[in-house]
Every structure is written in C-alpha cells, then in structure tokens.
C-alpha cells in the first residue's frame, strides 16, 4: 500500500503527537471512523527484526535518552539525576518496553478524595468518570489488546518466579494471589503468534506476541489510507489562531528541518513528562502560562507510582528469567485499609529482570560480597516488585528549566518529587511484607532493591469537573481550548495502585468517540 501523505497546509487533519499507547490507539480509532490523522513521532520506526534480546543494547536502542533533570527528596534525584523516568523514543512508544500487565482500577481508587479523607499537602481528587463507565471501555481495550483472563482468552502459563512468590504468599496468609492479566497472546490472535516465554518482554518482543502499538494500532491505522505517520519528527510548539483555538504544530524532522503542519485539532500523547513540557513551551501572549494552563495545573501533581523491589536468594535454582517479565501478583495489599498507617494500597508483583538491570536495581553503586553473591547466583533468585499508589501533590511537578535547552532550543524538563510521608510508610510496609513472603518460600537472604526511575508517568494535566481544578474535562479535552486534547496518562487525577496502560487505552477509545461525535 502506498504511504499516505497529507499536505502541510491541510487544515482538516487531526495531529496526534506520540505513537505510544495513547497516541496510536486514538489515531487508529479516528482513522477507522473516517478521520484523517497526521502522527508526529520523535523516535524512529523499528521492526521486530531490529529488537535484540540484550538488556543493554535494547536500553540504548529504545530509551528516551534526552536529558531530563530530577529534583526533590526522592532517591532517584541522587541515583539517576538526569533520568527521572524510563520511557521510549520510537514508534510504539513505551509499549515497546512495557511488561504488558493490563489491570483495571478498583472503585475506591477512583474516589480518592471521598474515601481517603484530608491529608496535609495532598490535592486528592475523584475521577470525573465513573467506574461503571470506565468498565465499558476497559472491556473494549481488553478485547482489542487480547488481555488474558478476559473475553475467554486463556491465561499464560505461570512462571517459575511466580510459583515461588505464590507459595510464600499463601504461607504468610495472603489470599488474593493470581496469575496476571497480560496483554500478551496466550494463543495466536489477530495475526500475531502466542508467547514463546522468551523472557525479554522489556527489550521488545521479537515474536510480536506482546501488544505493542508498533505492530498493532499503527499498521491497522495505515490500512485505512487515512494515517500519515511521520517518525523522527519532534513537535516543538503548538500554535493557535487569534481566537485561541489551536491550528498548527511546529515540528523538526530527522534532517533538522522545521515544518508547520496545519491542524483541525491537536491531541498530545507524548507521555506525562513531554506532554506538559510541550504545553508549557507553547506559551504565547494569549496564553502566557502555557497552553491550557489558565488554572496553573499543567505539569503539576506528577504521579509515578511508588516502586521498590525485593530479591530472595534460594538454596535451589529458580530460573526467574524463564517466562514473561511479570508473572503474577499479590493483590491483598491493594485493599482500602487505613489501619496500616497509610491510605491507598500497593501490589506485590512477581518480577524478573536480567543480570545487568538487576545490578542497577538492587544497588546502583553496589560493591562487596553481599552484593555480588546476588549476581553470581542469579539463577537462584526470585523477585517481587512494588507498584504503589502515590499521592497527588501540587508541587510535585514537571516544569521547564530556566536556562538549559535541548538541541532544538526547547527547555529541558525538570521533574520535581518530594515523597509524602504516606509514600514512605507504604514502601516500608512493602519491604517488610515482601521479605516475609520470600523468606516463607525458603529464601536464605533477601536484598531490598532501591527505587528506580519512574516507568509509569501520570497526572501532569489532570482531568477535573471544574476548570479551576485541572486541565481537561473527562474526555481529555482542554477546559480552555476546545480543539486541544490530552490522550495519555497525564489526565489521571490519581494513580491508583494499578498499572496504568489499560486505562490509557480505554480513555483513548472513549476520547475518539467523543471527538467523532462532537467534531464535524
Ligand atoms: C520497563 C517498563 C515496563 C512497563 N510495564 C508496564 C506494565 O506492565 N503495565 C502497564 O500498564 N504499564 C507499563 N509500563 C508503562 C507503559 O509503558 C506506559 O504507561 C505507556 O506506554 C504510556 O503510554 P503513552 O501513550 O502515554 O506514552 P508512550 O507509550 O511513552 O508514548 C509516547 C510517545 O511520544 C513520543 N514523543 C514524546 N515527545 C514527543 C514530541 N515532542 N514530538 C513527537 N513525539 C514525541 C515518544 O517518542 C513516544 O514514542 C511500563 C513502562 C516501562 C518503561
Ligand atoms: S516472554 Fe512472550 S511476550 Fe515476552 S518477549 Fe517473549 S514471547 Fe514476547
């Protein structure tokens, strides 16, 4: 099929920025419904043949390595001061890397303001979209992504790592322990094969069993003849007309040439750090604080989930690396229960990483026998990852650096996080519980892993009922500019304890319907 190309002066196209979970899903939905879409993607278009089962190589190949700055009291500001977040720069976005856990949120997690009470320094909010409505879209997202355990799709086989975690969890009294819902084919589906249990989900799935927009949403959209994907094209600014409606996007291509693409509407899905960065950088005399930022919420209330890990060393081999990265979850601690000394909850997830990442995760500056025995006896390890709800705080935010700019002259983003006492209490609880589980399963020692750069980014353009409380309405449509949309995790008012991507996809489907319904 010939490549689709729309003219730069074609003002009837929707411009979508970013081709990851949110952007490519929205673009595909719009194309399927007869709309013309130009998608600007900063990264290259790779193919599954380009993926390599090698952690370091894949990290260099896929990761967004442009400088960002981490500040605040979170440990990442010390351990990874120029990499607060781990995201991808390539067609398919971070779905190239993701572990494909596809979880729905719990009812109480969408009503945090009502359920959690008042907490000092916290800007809790209820979601402006109800659980029952989201459920309809989760179901559709699950069907489209082929999520195991839903729609009659069989589960993946359990991993060795999960068997150990499951045993320890039941020994200490946990009851809500289960194989995960994965957006990974357990049987061939939609032209893609079943998972081969290679264990390199984080390096790009060479068999394409894992849902990644590079080879799902993108080619589907292209087949409509209405999708103009422009890889290696980085959006620099969003322009608006005299009335204040957005009408064009300025971008730079791989050769360094700048272009202005006209647009009927603009949807940003650049992940929750680049999205507010672009809005803030698009400030004008009409919008001096940045686009959609009359409420001063753009960039604020950055959420990233509380992460940590624990690694048990066993007498006998476990071979945790056999099978998918994330193998199963203990859900008991995701309950609503303030008696533990914190609000919100967390998941304990059976998780494996390769030797290079393990070294960075367990102790970034590790040295000595205590540390090296974990690397030497890698095949005797089992791991548990923490995914915990962090709290929205106004001053945890993405802002533009005052002087430091990237090669295109755009200020680099500063990601500031001061952890709340609630976050710290929750992580302490996790370490104790994870160690109990691993020891109950027979671990002779346990190493606590350091928190690492955020892989889940949310909250920097939150949706709200009232314009003064956020950036968009429940459809991700800017309160201030009616043809400007946010289509990624930035719109989450709270993080919940659940991995975010299923909800990003569900919201993108819902947003596409809204756009088609309300735009002529
Ligand atoms: C190692 C890892 C494991 C993960 N595992 C899970 C999991 O198991 N479950 C889960 O739910 N989530 C997981 N995630 C998170 C998940 O990948 C993200 O939530 C999801 O991909 C976010 O979708 P998005 O569309 O917001 O952004 P992305 O998928 O990151 O896509 C954004 C795209 O925008 C592009 N872009 C940015 N700025 C510009 C610009 N100015 N111009 C043009 N293009 C631009 C980027 O290059 C990128 O391709 C994981 C993440 C990582 C790193
Ligand atoms: S374990 Fe399955 S999903 Fe992960 S990389 Fe291998 S084939 Fe793909």
Strand, helix or coil at 56? helix
Q: What is the mean pLDDT of residues 452-463?
A: 97
3-state SS, one letter per residue, for 302-364: CECCEEEEEEEECCCCCCCCCCCCEEEEECHHHCCCHHHCCCCCEEEEEECCCHHHHHHHHCC
**DSSP, res 395:** T
d(CA 462, CA 298): 8
Per-residue confidence band for 1, with pLDDT thresholds at 50, 70 and 90:
low
- Alpha carbon 165 to chain centroid, angstroms: 25
- For ligand 1, the distance from its centroid to the CA atom of residue 204, given in whole angstroms, is 13
Mean pLDDT of the chain: 96
- Asked whether residue 10 carries a pLDDT value surpassing 90, the answer given is yes
For ligand 1, the distance from its centroid to the CA atom of residue 136, given in whole angstroms, is: 23
Nearest to 434 by CA among 312, 305, 306: 312
> Where do runs of H (alpha helix) occur along 332-469?
355-362, 369-376, 421-440
Residue 519 confidence (pLDDT): 82
Q: Which residue lies with its CA nearest to atom 3 of ligand 2? A: 210
* Residue 348 CB burial class (10 angstroms; 0-12, 13-18, ≥19): buried
**What pLDDT is recorded for position 362?**
87
How high is the pLDDT of residue 363? Answer: 83
Sorted by where each begins, the domain ranges of the chain are 14-46+73-518
Ligand 2 neighbourhood includes 210 CB (under 6 angstroms)? yes
Say which residue, 265 or 520, is predicted with more confidence: 265
Return the CATH number of 14-46+73-518, one of 3.50.50.60, 1.10.10.10, 3.40.50.11740, 3.90.1150.10.
3.50.50.60
Structure tokens given for 375: 């690397």
The pLDDT value given to residue 366? 82
CA of 99 to the centre of ligand 2 (A): 9
Quote the pLDDT of residue 427: 98
What are the tens digits of pLDDT across the range 68-98? 999 999 999 999 999 999 999 999 999 999 9
Measured from CB, residues less than 6 Å from any atom of ligand 1 are 17-23, 40-43, 86-90, 93-95, 97-101, 202, 234-235, 269-271, 274, 278, 326, 455-456, 488-489, 499-501, 504
379 Cα to the center of ligand 1, angstroms: 30
Rounded to the nearest angstrom, the distance between the alpha carbon of 441 and the centre of ligand 1 is 34
Q: Map tokens 């068999």 to a residue.
A: 207
Nearest to 57 by CA among 195, 200, 184: 200
Q: In this structure, what are the phi and psi dihedrals at residue 382, rounded to the nearest 5 degrees? A: -130, 145
Enumerate the β-bridge partners of residue 265: 14
Query: Is it the case that residue 475 has pLDDT exceeding 70?
Result: yes
Among candidate residues 219, 253, 223, the one with its CA nearest the CA of residue 235: 253
Cβ–ligand 2 contact at 201 (below 6 Å): yes
454-470 mean pLDDT: 97
CA of 16 to the centre of ligand 2 (A): 29
Q: What is the pLDDT of residues 164-215, one digit of tens each?
A: 999 999 999 999 999 999 999 999 999 999 999 989 999 999 999 999 999 9
SS percent in the chain: helix, strand, coil, step 5: 30, 20, 50
Whole-structure pTM value: 0.98
| Structural element, H or E, at residue 112 | helix 112-116
Q: Which ligand is nearest to the CA of 201?
A: 2
Separation between Cα atoms, residue 475 and residue 507, nearest integer Å: 7
Helical H segments across 213-306, by residue range: 217-223, 271-281
């Amino acid at each position: 099929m010939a490549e689709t190309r729309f003219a730069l002066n074609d003002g009837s196209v929707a411009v979508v920025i970013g081709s990851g979970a949110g952007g490519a899903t929205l673009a595909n939905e719009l194309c399927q419904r007869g709309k013309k879409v130009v998608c600007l993607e900063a990264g290259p278009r790779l193919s599954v043949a380009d993926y390599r089962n090698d952690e370091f190589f894949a990290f260099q190949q896929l990761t967004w390595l442009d400088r960002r700055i981490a500040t605040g009291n979170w440990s990442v500001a010390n351990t990874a001061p120029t990499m607060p977040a781990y995201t991808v720069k390539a067609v398919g976005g971070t779905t190239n890397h993701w572990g494909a856990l596809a979880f729905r949120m719990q009812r109480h997690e969408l009503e945090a303001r009502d359920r959690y009470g008042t907490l000092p320094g916290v800007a809790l909010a209820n979601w402006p979209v109800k659980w029952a409505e989201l459920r309809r879209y989760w179901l559709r997202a699950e069907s489209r992504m082929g999520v195991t355990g839903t729609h009659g799709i069989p589960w993946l086989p359990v991993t060795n790592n999960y068997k150990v975690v499951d045993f320890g969890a039941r020994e200490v009294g946990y009851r809500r322990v289960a194989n995960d819902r994965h957006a990974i084919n357990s049987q061939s589906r939609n032209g893609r094969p079943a998972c081969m249990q290679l264990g390199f989900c984080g390096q790009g799935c060479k068999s394409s069993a894992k849902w990644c927009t590079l080879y799902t949403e993108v080619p589907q959209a292209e087949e409509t003849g209405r999708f103009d994907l422009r890889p290696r094209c980085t959006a620099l600014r969003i322009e608006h007309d005299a009335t204040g409606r957005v009408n064009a996007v300025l971008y730079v291509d791989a050769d360094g040439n700048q272009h202005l693409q006209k647009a009927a509407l603009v949807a940003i899905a650049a992940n929750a750090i680049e999205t507010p960065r672009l809005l803030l950088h698009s400030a004008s005399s009409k919008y001096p604080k940045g686009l959609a930022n009359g409420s001063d919420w753009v960039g604020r209330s950055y959420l990233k989930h509380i992460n940590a890990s624990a690694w048990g060393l066993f007498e006998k081999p476990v071979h945790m690396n056999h099978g998918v990265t994330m193998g199963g979850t203990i859900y008991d601690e995701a309950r609503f229960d303030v008696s533990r000394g914190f609000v919100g909850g967390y998941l304990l997830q059976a998780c494996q990483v390769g030797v290079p990442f393990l070294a960075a995760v367990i102790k970034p500056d590790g040295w000595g026998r205590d540390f090296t025995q974990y690397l030497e006896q890698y095949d005797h390890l089992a791991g548990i990852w923490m995914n915990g709800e962090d709290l929205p705080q106004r001053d945890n935010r993405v802002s533009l650096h005052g002087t430091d700019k990237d090669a295109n002259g755009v200020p680099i983003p500063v990601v500031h996080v001061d952890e709340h006492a609630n976050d710290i209490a929750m992580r302490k609880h996790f370490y104790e519980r994870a160690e109990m589980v691993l020891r109950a399963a027979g671990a002779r020692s346990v190493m606590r892993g350091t928190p690492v750069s955020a892989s889940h980014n949310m909250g920097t353009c939150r949706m709200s009922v009232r314009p003064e409380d956020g950036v968009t309405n429940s459809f991700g449509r800017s309160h201030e500019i009616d043809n400007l949309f946010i289509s990624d995790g930035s719109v989450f008012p709270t993080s919940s304890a659940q991995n975010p991507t299923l909800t990003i996809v569900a919201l993108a489907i819902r947003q596409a319907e809204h756009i088609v319904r309300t735009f002529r």
